[in-house]
Structure 1
Amino acid sequence: MEPLLKVENIKKVYGKLSAAYTALENVSFDIHEGEFVGIMGPSGAGKSTLLNLLATIDSPTEGKIYMKNKSIHDMKEAALSDFRREHLGFIFQDYNLLDSLTVKENILLPLAIAKIPAKKINHLVTQISKVFGIEDLLAKYPYQISGGQKQRTAAARALVTEPALILADEPTGALDSKSATDLLESLSTLNENNNSTIMMVTHDAFAASFCRRIIFIKDGSFSTEIYRRDQTRKAFFQEILDVHAAIGGEADDII
């Protein structure tokens, strides 16, 4: 089976000549449809750079990134914008909700931009709001709900279009433990029940333990990867801690 996402020998260099800094070097991996993959590594390892490349916010200096067999960074800007809207969903640490819109209006915004019929919009919003447990909040505004509820709203907005790949950047970074657990359980449910494909960058071993596979990068290069397989989440959590310690991660990088 062809991978959904294929990263081939990615290199990213910032600056020029003596001021050049290599953020990523020879990074390669695949993600198949239905996977829940975590990206981890010490501070400065290149996690954010990698995410920016996958999100098409930045372009690699060398190498190729293929999504559904298309080289995404060879697209013209208009085609890339359409591709991003149609195939990618983004969950960030900052909620990026519009305060002037209700929870429902925030969630349906990408559907309205895509000119989806109103009847289908209502169905999709109802469906995704139930997954994230926010169906009772649809008429409220962002200032009326908690941080955890805002993040679940942001996640619902990212997933309501049923994107091929969900990119999550430290989605639990600003949440308390209960709100973080609620969000991660919802993402895990979507992954298991809807075969949603998720790639999450995180420094948090607890968050990573909800993934099925973890890719570790160090000093801008691929280091190792581990699979949860039939382990309990608790056992996988401990394995993540052990691997992170072995590649030189600091305690502050993983809690």
Structure 2
Amino acid sequence: METVIEIKALTKSYGNKGNVVPVLHGIDMCIGEGEFVGIMGPSGSGKTTLLHMAATIDEPTSGSIVIDGENVLQMNEAQLSAFRRSKLGFIFQDYNLLDTLTVKENILLPLALSGISVDEVENRVSAIAERFNIKHILEKYPYQISGGQKQRTAACRAIVTRPRLILADEPTGALDSKAAASLLEALNELNEQEHATILMVTHDALAASYCSRVLFLKDGVIFAEIVKGTTPRQAFFKKILDVLTVLGGRTDDVI
């Protein structure tokens, strides 16, 4: 399995001199091509900070991050910007859609400067919209669609560039159970059929049960790891709840 992201000895502290707050303590993590990896942990465990490091949004205090064979910590801002556009896809809880653009225009926005032909852009948007079941709303504006449709639009926008790594930060956090399940099924299908590599931070055991592997953080270190393998999703969900119980995390999610 080809490695997509490799993180070694990653640390992160905030503040300076007499007021330093350590958040991550020597994280080692490797994700192979086609994996769907979840990161869970109590509030303050460092999971979102870790995702931001992997997403090149924030810089670590020390350690290394190699994505698709490239050391992102050695890049300048211009190189990082180009790298993000070509290699990374982002799905965040707050959608970040532009209200003045249609759903279709929001999705194709990352392709606007890519030099891809108009026909190819149309083909990609059509295919990804069909996969996420939003083809019928492509001409609507964000204020005309539901929260679940907005999040699926945001997911399409993240994926249309065919990134090497998709990063999702609490993608179901603002959705009702039906909309969340729809998004997770689409991401799971994308992972299984297209071998997309996904790294997702979530507090939701149900969302994590769609992953092939889940890492649990506690106090800035990896506390535990479980692998789904051939385990049925409902049984994997139960394993996740068991670890969360030990961690003191949320165990009120239902399947």
**Both structures adopt the same fold (TM-score exceeding 0.5):** yes
Aligned pairs for 1:206-225 within 5 A: 206-225=206-225
Aligned pairs for 1:38-53 within 5 A: 38-53=38-53
CA displacement 1:185-234 (0-9 Å, x = unmatched) = 00000000000000000000000000010011100111110011111111
Determine if the alignment matches structure 1 residue 178 to structure 2 residue 192. no
SS at match of 1:90: strand
Find the counterpart in structure 2 of residue 153 from structure 1: 153
1:68 CA drift (Å): 1.6
Determine if the alignment matches structure 1 residue 34 to structure 2 residue 28. no
CA displacement 1:152-201 (0-9 Å, x = unmatched) = 00000000001000000000000000000000000000000000000000
Find the counterpart in structure 2 of residue 83 from structure 1: 83
Opposite residue 78 of structure 1, the aligned amino acid is A
Find the counterpart in structure 2 of residue 15 from structure 1: 15
CA displacement 1:1-42 (0-9 Å, x = unmatched) = 441100001000111122000010010010000000000011
Question: For the structure 1 residues 2 and 196, does the alpha-carbon distance in structure 2 shift closer, same or farther, using more than 3 Å as the test?
Answer: closer
Determine if the alignment matches structure 1 residue 92 to structure 2 residue 111. no
Opposite residue 165 of structure 1, the aligned amino acid is L
Counterpart-to-counterpart distance in 1, 2:97 and 2:103:
9
1:250 CA drift (Å): 4.6
TM-score using structure 1 length: 0.97
SS at match of 2:112: helix
Counterpart-to-counterpart distance in 2, 1:248 and 1:177:
23
Alignment: residue pair count? 254
Give runs of ≥4 in structure 1 deviating > 4 Å: none
Identity, in percent, stands at 56
1:247 CA drift (Å): 2.5
Instruction: Tell which deviates more after alignment, 34-43 or 108-117.
Output: 108-117
Counterpart-to-counterpart distance in 1, 2:227 and 2:217:
15
SS at match of 1:51: helix
SS at match of 1:37: strand
SS at match of 2:172: coil
Opposite residue 127 of structure 1, the aligned amino acid is A
Contact 2:68 2:164 (C-alpha < 8 Å) held by counterparts: no
1:114 CA drift (Å): 1.7
Counterpart-to-counterpart distance in 2, 1:118 and 1:25:
47
Counterpart-to-counterpart distance in 1, 2:2 and 2:103:
37
Find the counterpart in structure 2 of residue 232 from structure 1: 232
Gapped regions of structure 1 (runs ≥ 5): none
What is the root-mean-square deviation of aligned Cα atoms in Å? 1.2
Find the counterpart in structure 2 of residue 164 from structure 1: 164
Contact 2:241 2:251 (C-alpha < 8 Å) held by counterparts: no
Counterpart-to-counterpart distance in 1, 2:155 and 2:47:
20
1:64 CA drift (Å): 0.2
Question: For the structure 1 residues 250 and 122, does the alpha-carbon distance in structure 2 shift closer, same or farther, using more than 3 Å as the test?
Answer: closer
1:235 CA drift (Å): 0.4
SS at match of 1:4: strand
Opposite residue 16 of structure 2, the aligned amino acid is K
